[in-house]
Amino acid sequence: MRKLLLLLMINYLSISNAQVLNEDFEGGVFPPTGWTTDNTNPSRPWGLTTTIFDGDANLQNTYNINGTSAAIDWIAANNDANLISPTFSLVGYSSANFNFNVIVGWSYMINQDLGDLVAKVSNDGGTTWTQVWSEDTETGFTDDNDNNPDSDLYNTVAVTIDMTSYLGQSNLKVKFQYTGNDADAVSIDDIVVDGNLSSNTFFTSNFISYPNPVSSNLSINNLNNNVINSITISDLNGRTIENIKYNNMDLANFEINTSNLNSGIYILRIDSQEGIATKKIIKR
């Protein structure tokens, strides 16, 4: 137990990166929880590679990136199809990136430009979108130089997009939009939005939390009597474990019951009228 707690303490001191959004399409259900899709051609929706290329092991091997991936097949007709993420927040982050792996056929999609795959970001819950990436300008896709459009390399490209312009915003979504007519299939996998939580040392010092590590009740001293709106406990993948509403209460001292948490490291976020404080806590 002492060795375990020592390892947890080392992680506690060294980990500042947290994942806000993480989807690898390995759950067997499509779309995954919170994700949505739409398409103008009913015969060509987004789906899992195991479904889109059902019965064709060669195509599954071509478009699988890290196990099962999200994919959409081509058709000799117009299609406009979107794969849209759940809403996420970058409030309290000092830096963030939007990462994913992608496969696109060079000949039909880039050289002949019969289709397009773009990534977009919305900061109003999906009402409006801003394009942040396009396969047309991605230099990672390569031609095998055999002059045969049906035997491309279909190499995987890892993409990282700087999300600095979206820091501090809470109603964010990302989406992948495929448009084409007689173009080519594409696949997406390992979608991650991650970043570093802001180290607002001055404001965070207004709150003292103890004991840490904690086994049951976590005590919090609100040294300057900040007006508390809510407290959120999240894991290191960005998933909200518990959200406690305080409705603008002026609390000098209060406790949070952590007995229902599994052993591990969590992010404690205190939202107040005066600012946001974040702390890492260790649950025994």
Selected residue with higher pLDDT from 79 and 149:
79
* DSSP state for residue 109 in the 8-state scheme: I
Residue 181, phi then psi, degrees to nearest 5: -145, 110
Residue 184's pLDDT band, with cuts at 50, 70 and 90, is very high
Q: How do residues 102-136 score in pLDDT, each as one tens digit? A: 999 999 999 999 999 999 999 999 999 999 999 99
Backbone angles phi, psi at 204, to 5 degrees: -60, -30
Contact 46, 264 (CB under 8 A): no
Angle made by CA atoms 74, 120, 19, in degrees to the nearest 5: 110
> With bands split at pLDDT 50, 70 and 90, how would you rate the model's confidence at 271?
confident
> What domains can you pick out in the chain, each with its CATH number?
2-14+199-283 (2.60.40.3080), 17-197 (2.60.120.200)
170 falls in which pLDDT band (50, 70, 90)?
Answer: confident
- Residue 67: pLDDT band (50, 70, 90) is very high
The mean per-residue pLDDT over the stretch 185-214 comes to 87
Position with higher pLDDT, 225 vs 190: 190
The pLDDT of residue 12 is above 80: no
* pLDDT band at 272; cut points 50, 70, 90: confident
Q: Residues 150, 109: contact at Cβ < 8 Å?
A: no
Instruction: Provide the edge-to-edge strand list for the sheet that holds 207-210.
Output: 207-210, 217-222, 253-257
Comparing 107-111, 187-191, 274-278, the range with the smallest average pLDDT is: 274-278
For the entire predicted model, the pTM comes to 0.72
Residue 114 identity (one-letter amino acid): L
Omega within 30 of 0 (cis) for the link into 32? no
